[in-house]
Amino acid sequence: MSDLLSFERVIFGFGRDTPVVVGGTAPDGETRDDAPGLTLGVPAGSVTAILGPNGAGKTTLLHIALGWLRPRSGRVLYEGLPLDSFTRRDLGREIALVPQSERTPFALSVLDYVILGRAPYLAPLAMPNPRDEEIARAAIDEVGLESVANRPLTTLSGGERQRVLLARALAQQPRLLLMDEPTAHLDLAHKARLIHVLRRRVASGLTVLLTTHEPDVASAVATYLVLMRGGHVFRSGAAEQVFNEADLSRTYGIPVRIGDVDGRRLAVWM
């Protein structure tokens, strides 16, 4: 399986501060001093989950993948081409982001906000057409918010707003979906719905790169896992190999045990 997105020896830091993305990985997944920078591939058609504690560099890595942040050294490739060779409009048709949260200065309705996901397909100053509205409504239905489509965003709960962010990204019709802690504000039922949405979309060709603090979310949906700590990727690979007690304990700095419930592997901190 080829990589849709890849990081090659990437190092990133804010100003003159100590770099926050620094670590390289060897083929066996272990950090090596002679492999500076972060090297990582995101296979096409996969759900790749980045696990790690606060400050690990997970969100920064997503912003580098989106082109919002430029690495000090190394490069990011999309379909084998440098990310900076694409226009913002081109990237908008290829890559979408679901952030942890987003401030909206205007009291837009859910539908109007989700239609913003169609912006990369519109000419400058052009208005959305009926097809754009149809795509936006379908995305709203997919995340279970059809009953609030005409309500202002300001009246929604945190979990509902999180699902609106997902709907806007789906309306963008990307090939690569970046998600930053997408289950942080969701209850159990809506976490399950999110996982079903991702599985269905991936089966139709979507590639997903997500960050999460929750090992059980990663276990439920990811085909590949990346473990980060302190700006280093020290383990990556197929989910069934990387989701183990030793590596998760090393990631979070506490003892982690793994159990099996009806065929699902669940992590419990001790």
In a domain, 265, yes or no: no
pLDDT of residue 1: 67
In a domain, 181, yes or no: yes
Confidence of residue 27 (pLDDT cuts 50, 70, 90): very low
Task: List the CATH number of the domain containing 69.
Answer: 3.40.50.300
Strands 47-51, 224-229: pairing kind? parallel
| Closest of 123, 248, 143 to residue 190, by C-alpha | 143
- List, for residues 170-192, the tens digit of each pLDDT value: 999 999 999 999 998 888 999 99
Strands 81-82, 95-98: pairing kind? unpaired
Note whether 195 and 218 are within 8 A (CB). Answer: no
- List, for residues 82-115, the tens digit of each pLDDT value: 999 999 999 999 999 999 888 776 789 999 999 9
C-alpha atoms less than 13 angstroms from C-alpha of 77 in its C-beta half-sphere: 18
In a domain, 267, yes or no: no
pTM of full prediction above 0.85 = yes
Residue 79 has pLDDT above 70, yes or no: yes
In a domain, 259, yes or no: no
Distance of alpha carbon 178 from alpha carbon 170, whole angstroms: 11
The domain total for the chain is 1
- List, for residues 194-222, the tens digit of each pLDDT value: 999 999 999 999 999 999 988 989 999 99
Distance of alpha carbon 233 from alpha carbon 118, whole angstroms: 34
In a domain, 148, yes or no: yes
Domain that holds residue 236: 3-253
Residue 30 has pLDDT above 60, yes or no: no
Look over the chain and give the mean of its residue pLDDT values, rounded to a whole number.
Answer: 88
Strands 3-11, 38-43: pairing kind? antiparallel
Burial of 159 (0-12, 13-18, 19+ CB in 10 A): middle
